[in-house]
C-alpha cells in the first residue's frame, strides 16, 4: 500500500493510501483529519470542509492540482506539504540552492560502486561521489580493521580504564571521568552541543562528499567506530539521505567539529535532512521513508564521527579538481584570443622553454603549439598576418606559459596534499588495535590542507588576472584592430563594455579572497585548542576564487568568439574552430545588444562541465603522440608532463 508523508503546520503525518486513484484533495483532507485528531483544540479548525489549502511537493516546491489523481503526480513515499490558506510559509523548509545541485534533476540511483579502504580514494573519485555517480561499500580488509579497532574500545570500557573521549569529557573537560551508565549520553550530548554551525547549508553534492570522506577515514580502522554504525552511514549515503550542514563554524582544529557534528546529528535522526525524494524535512522522517534507522551511539563513536579535517578536505578536493579543469581550458581560451589578436606563436618554441624547464611552463607551451602549430593545423587567420612587422606580443599573450605554468605546478602540489589528506586518519585519540592501546595526538589539525588551499587560491587567481587583461585587449580598438567592445554600431550598442567590467570586478574580489586565512589563529576551548588552522574558510574561499576564475574565462571565451566574427571568412585552426562551434551551439553571435548575463552563465557551464577541454583535448593528445612519440599519453587528459592517473577500485552492483 503506498503511503505519503505530509507536512501540516510543523508536524509530519504519514497517510496510507489504499486507492491511488484518489485525488490530491483527498490526500490533503486525510492529512488534516490526522492533524486535528492530535490537537485538543482541533488546531483551531472548526469545520474541516471549510478549510482551503494547497499541496506542494517538498522537493522543488511544485504546486499540485487538487483534482489530480495521486498515481498521476506522486510516487510511493513522496513528501508533500499542505499549506492552509492564511498560514505563513513553514519554517521547517530550507529552500534548495537551485542551479547548484545536479542531484535534484531527475536523480537516478547509481549502479556502480567505489570500494573504500581508507587508503586509495582520490579527489577525482570524491567529486564523482558528490555528483551521485557511484555508491560506496567497504572492502573486506577495511571491515576487519574496523571490527578489531572496536573490540579494543569495548575492552577499555569493560575494564573501566580512563581514556580521553571514551570515558572522559572533551577538551577542557578531559580530566572529568564519566560513569559507564552515561557514556551513550556523553556521545549524544557531544553531537548536540557541537552542532552550532551557521550560514547556508552545504549543497547536496558537497554534503555527499563530506559524508563519503568521513566514511573513508573511518574505514582505516583507527577511529574505534563500530561496523554497525559505519554500515548505517553507508546506507544513508547510498540513499542520498544528507544531513543539514551549515557552511560556517569550523576553525579547522580540533578538526571540523561543528560541520561534522551537524552531519552526524542527522544520522541520529535529529535536525534536518535532504534526499532527492523528500527535499528538506525532519531527519527521522527522511530516514524512515528510506527504510533506515537512526544510529545509536556507542562509547567514543560521537567523537569518532566529528574529529577530523573532512570539511576542509572535501571542499578542497572540489576546489583543486575544478582548478585543474579550468587551468587546462584557460590555455585553449588564451590560444583563441591570441589568434583573434593576430599574435605570434614564436614565444612558444620548445627551445625557449627548455632553457627554463619548469614542468608547468613546458606543458602550457606544448598545449599552445598543439593548438596553433601551422604545420599541424593551418590557420587562415595566422596566414593573413604572416609577414607583418610585429616582433613580439604583449605579456598577456607572450607570457602565458610562464603565468599559466606556475598555476599548473601549484595545482599539482596542492592535489598531492589533498589526496594524502583524503586517505589520512585525522581523529583523536587514535586506536591501534595491533598495539592494544589508544594514543592521543594532533592529526586533527587542519594546517596542511589550509595552507595548501590558501596557496591554491593565490595560484589559480592569476588565470583570471591575466584573462581580464586579454579581455581588455579584445575590447579596446586601439589594441585589437577590431570594433570597440566587439560590436557594430558602437554607441547605439555597448557590446562587451560591461562584461569586461564584470571580469574586472571578479578579479578585484579575488584579490581580497586570496588573503591567506591560515595565517590567523584564535585560541579556543579555554586555551586547550590554542592554535587553529582556519582551514574551513581557506577551503570555502578557494572554491569562490575558482568559480570567479571560471566566470572571467567564460567572458574571455565569449569575447574571443565574438572577435572571430569580425575576421570572417578567415578561419582559425581546426581545434579552435571546434571550440568556436561549441560556443556558437550555445550562444548566438552578438549582432546587437541583448540580455548578456544568460550568455555568460551558459558558457560558464560549458567550462564547469569541461566541454571545451573535451572538444580540444583530443587534438592536443594527437599532437603529442605525433610530435613527441616518447611521451605518449596514457589517457585523454594525461599528456607528456602529467603523472599517470591513480587507479580506482570499482565493482558493479551484483
Report the C-alpha gap between 286 and 276 in whole angstroms. Answer: 10
> Is the predicted pLDDT of residue 47 greater than 60, yes or no?
yes
3-state helix, strand, coil in the chain (%, to 5): 50, 10, 40
Q: What H or E segment, with its residue span, contains residue 575?
A: helix 574-584
Amino acid 117: pLDDT: 97
Sign of the Cα torsion 3, 273, 60, 133 reads: negative
Report the C-alpha gap between 214 and 616 in whole angstroms. Answer: 36
**Looking at the domain that runs over 113-307, which CATH code has it been given?**
1.10.275.10
Q: Does domain 316-627 have CATH number 1.10.3720.10?
A: no
Stretch 543-567: mean pLDDT, rounded?
98
Amino acid 197: pLDDT: 96
pLDDT band at 88 (very low <50, low <70, confident <90, very high): low
Write 505-509 long-range contacts (CB < 8 A, 24+). 506/464, 506/468, 506/548, 506/551, 506/552, 507/461, 507/464, 507/465, 507/468, 507/548, 507/552, 509/548
> Is the predicted pLDDT of residue 584 greater than 60, yes or no?
yes
What are the catalytic residues? 164
Amino acid 106: pLDDT: 55
Report the C-alpha gap between 438 and 163 in whole angstroms. Answer: 8
The per-residue DSSP string of 10-58 comes to TEEEEEE-S-TTSBHHHHHHHHHHHHHHT-TTGGG-S-GGG--EEEEET
Distance of CA 330 to the CA centre of its chain: 20
Centre a 10 Å sphere on the Cβ of residue 190 and count the other Cβ atoms it contains: 23
> Is the predicted pLDDT of residue 483 greater than 80, yes or no?
yes
Give the single-character DSSP code of 377.
S
Residue labelled with grid coordinates 510516487: 75
Report the C-alpha gap between 533 and 522 in whole angstroms. Answer: 9
Stretch 50-68: mean pLDDT, rounded?
85
> Is the predicted pLDDT of residue 38 greater than 60, yes or no?
yes
Could you tell me which residue, 637 or 614, shows the higher pLDDT? Answer: 614
Amino acid 103: pLDDT: 62
Amino acid 651: pLDDT: 42
Stretch 521-539: mean pLDDT, rounded?
90
Amino acid 270: pLDDT: 96
Can you read off the three cell numbers belonging to residue 106?
531527475
Reading phi first (left if > 0) and then psi (alpha if -120 to 50, else beta), residue 342 is in left
Return the top range by mean pLDDT from 47-61, 104-118, 568-582: 568-582
pLDDT band at 2 (very low <50, low <70, confident <90, very high): confident
Stretch 134-163: mean pLDDT, rounded?
93
CA distances from 458 to 48, 74, 516, 551, 556 (A): 62, 49, 8, 17, 20
> Is the predicted pLDDT of residue 428 greater than 50, yes or no?
yes
What per-residue string of b and e applies to 302-325 under the rule 16 or more CB within 10 Å gives b?
Answer: bbbbbbbbbbbbbbbbbbbbbbbb
pLDDT band at 628 (very low <50, low <70, confident <90, very high): low
CA distances from 645 to 123, 124, 335, 632, 642 (A): 12, 10, 26, 14, 8
**Looking at the domain that runs over 3-84, which CATH code has it been given?**
3.10.20.90
258 in Cβ contact with 249 (< 8 Å) = yes
> Is the predicted pLDDT of residue 283 greater than 80, yes or no?
yes
214 in Cβ contact with 233 (< 8 Å) = yes
The pLDDT mean for the chain works out to 90
Q: Under 8 Å CB-to-CB from 501, ≥6 apart: which residues?
A: none
Stretch 576-593: mean pLDDT, rounded?
96
CA distances from 445 to 218, 529, 553 (A): 17, 10, 35
pTM of the model: 0.87
> Is the predicted pLDDT of residue 93 greater than 60, yes or no?
no
pLDDT > 70: percent of the chain: 92
Can you read off the three cell numbers belonging to residue 402?
610562464
The strand pairing partners of 490, in sequence order, are: 493
pLDDT > 90: percent of the chain: 72
100 in Cβ contact with 207 (< 8 Å) = no
Could you tell me which residue, 598 or 109, shows the higher pLDDT? Answer: 598
Stretch 252-277: mean pLDDT, rounded?
93
**Three-class secondary structure of residue 274 per DSSP:** strand
Report the C-alpha gap between 110 and 134 in whole angstroms. Answer: 5
Domain ranges of the chain: 3-84, 113-307, 316-627
The pLDDT tens digits of the residues spanning 350-367 come to 999 999 999 999 999 999
Report the C-alpha gap between 223 and 642 in whole angstroms. Answer: 35
Q: What H or E segment, with its residue span, contains residue 80?
A: strand 79-84
Q: Under 8 Å CB-to-CB from 42, ≥6 apart: which residues?
A: 36
Stretch 366-383: mean pLDDT, rounded?
93
Amino acid at each position: 500500500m503506498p503511503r505519503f508523508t505530509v507536512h501540516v503546520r510543523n508536524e509530519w503525518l504519514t497517510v496510507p493510501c489504499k486507492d491511488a486513484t484518489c485525488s490530491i484533495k483527498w490526500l490533503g483532507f486525510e492529512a488534516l483529519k490526522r492533524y486535528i485528531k492530535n490537537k485538543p483544540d482541533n488546531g483551531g479548525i472548526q469545520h474541516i470542509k471549510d478549510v482551503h489549502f494547497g499541496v506542494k511537493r517538498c522537493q522543488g516546491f511544485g504546486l499540485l492540482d487538487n483534482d489530480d489523481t495521486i498515481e498521476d503526480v506522486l510516487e510511493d513515499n513522496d513528501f508533500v506539504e499542505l499549506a492552509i490558506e492564511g498560514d505563513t510559509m513553514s519554517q521547517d523548509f530550507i529552500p534548495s540552492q537551485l542551479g547548484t545541485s545536479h542531484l535534484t534533476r531527475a536523480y537516478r540511483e547509481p549502479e556502480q560502486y567505489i570500494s573504500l579502504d581508507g587508503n586509495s580514494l582520490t579527489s577525482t573519485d570524491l567529486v564523482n561521489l558528490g555528483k551521485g555517480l557511484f555508491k560506496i561499500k567497504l572492502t573486506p580488509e577495511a571491515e576487519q580493521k574496523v571490527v578489531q579497532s572496536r573490540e579494543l574500545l569495548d575492552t577499555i570500557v569493560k575494564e573501566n580504564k580512563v581514556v580521553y573521549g571514551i570515558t572522559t569529557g572533551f577538551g577542557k573537560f578531559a580530566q572529568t571521568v564519566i560513569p559507564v551508565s552515561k557514556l551513550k549520553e556523553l556521545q549524544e550530548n557531544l553531537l548536540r552541543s557541537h552542532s552550532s554551525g551557521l550560514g547556508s547549508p552545504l549543497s547536496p553534492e558537497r554534503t555527499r562528499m563530506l559524508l563519503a570522506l568521513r566514511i573513508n577515514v573511518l574505514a582505516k580502522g583507527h577511529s574505534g567506530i563500530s561496523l554497525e554504525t559505519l554500515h548505517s552511514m553507508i546506507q544513508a549515503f547510498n540513499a542520498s539521505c544528507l544531513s543539514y550542514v551549515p557552511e560556517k563554524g569550523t576553525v579547522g582544529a580540533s578538526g571540523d567539529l561543528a560541520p561534522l557534528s551537524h552531519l552526524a546529528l542527522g544520522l541520529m535522526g535529529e535536525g534536518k535532512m535532504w534526499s532527492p525524494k523528500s527535499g528538506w524535512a525532519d531527519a527521522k522522517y527522511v530516514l524512515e521513508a528510506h527504510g533506515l534507522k537512526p544510529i545509536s551511539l556507542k562509547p567514543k563513536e560521537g567523537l569518532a564521527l566529528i574529529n577530523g579535517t573532512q570539511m576542509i578536505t572535501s571542499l578542497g578536493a572540489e576546489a583543486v579538481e575544478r582548478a585543474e579543469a579550468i587551468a587546462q581550458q584557460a590555455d585553449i581560451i588564451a590560444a583563441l584570443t591570441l589568434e583573434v589578436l593576430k599574435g605570434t606563436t614564436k614565444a612558444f618554441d620548445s627551445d625557449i622553454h627548455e632553457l627554463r624547464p619548469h614542468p608547468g611552463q613546458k606543458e602550457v607551451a606544448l598545449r599552445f603549439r598543439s593548438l596553433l602549430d601551422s604545420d599541424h593545423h593551418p590557420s587562415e587567420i595566422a596566414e593573413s598576418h604572416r609577414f607583418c612587422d610585429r616582433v613580439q606580443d604583449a605579456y598577456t599573450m607572450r607570457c602565458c606559459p610562464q603565468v599559466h605554468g606556475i598555476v599548473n605546478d601549484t595545482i599539482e602540489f596542492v592535489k598531492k596534499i589533498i589526496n594524502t589528506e583524503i586517505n589520512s586518519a585525522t581523529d583523536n585519540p587514535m586506536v591501534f588495535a595491533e598495539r592494544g592501546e589508544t594514543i592521543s595526538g594532533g592529526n586533527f589539525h587542519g594546517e596542511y590542507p589550509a595552507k595548501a588551499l590558501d596557496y591554491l587560491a593565490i595560484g589559480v587567481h592569476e588565470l583570471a588576472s591575466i584573462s581580464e587583461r586579454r579581455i581588455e585587449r579584445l575590447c579596446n580598438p586601439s589594441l585589437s584592430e577590431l570594433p570597440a567592445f566587439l560590436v557594430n554600431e558602437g554607441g547605439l550598442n555597448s557590446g562587451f563594455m560591461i562584461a569586461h567590467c564584470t571580469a574586472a570586478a571578479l578579479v578585484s574580489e579575488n584579490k581580497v579572497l586570496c588573503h591567506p586565512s591560515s595565517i590567523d589563529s584564535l585560541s579556543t576551548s579555554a586555551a586547550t585548542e590554542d592554535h587553529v588552522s582556519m582551514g574551513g574558510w581557506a577551503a570555502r574561499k578557494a572554491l569562490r576564487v575558482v568559480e570567479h576564475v571560471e566566470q572571467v574565462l567564460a567572458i574571455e571565451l565569449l569575447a574571443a568568439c565574438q572577435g572571430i566574427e569580425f575576421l570572417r571568412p578567415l578561419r582559425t585552426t581546426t581545434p579552435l574552430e571546434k571550440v568556436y562551434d561549441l560556443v556558437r551551439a550555445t550562444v548566438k553571435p552578438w549582432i546587437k545588444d541583448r540580455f548578456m548575463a544568460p550568455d555568460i552563465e551558459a558558457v560558464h557551464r560549458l567550462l564547469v562541465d569541461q566541454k571545451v577541454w573535451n572538444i580540444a583535448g583530443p587534438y592536443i593528445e594527437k599532437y603529442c603522440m605525433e610530435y613527441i612519440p616518447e611521451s605518449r599519453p596514457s589517457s585523454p587528459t594525461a599528456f607528456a608532463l602529467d603523472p599517470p592517473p591513480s587507479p580506482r577500485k570499482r565493482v558493479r552492483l551484483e
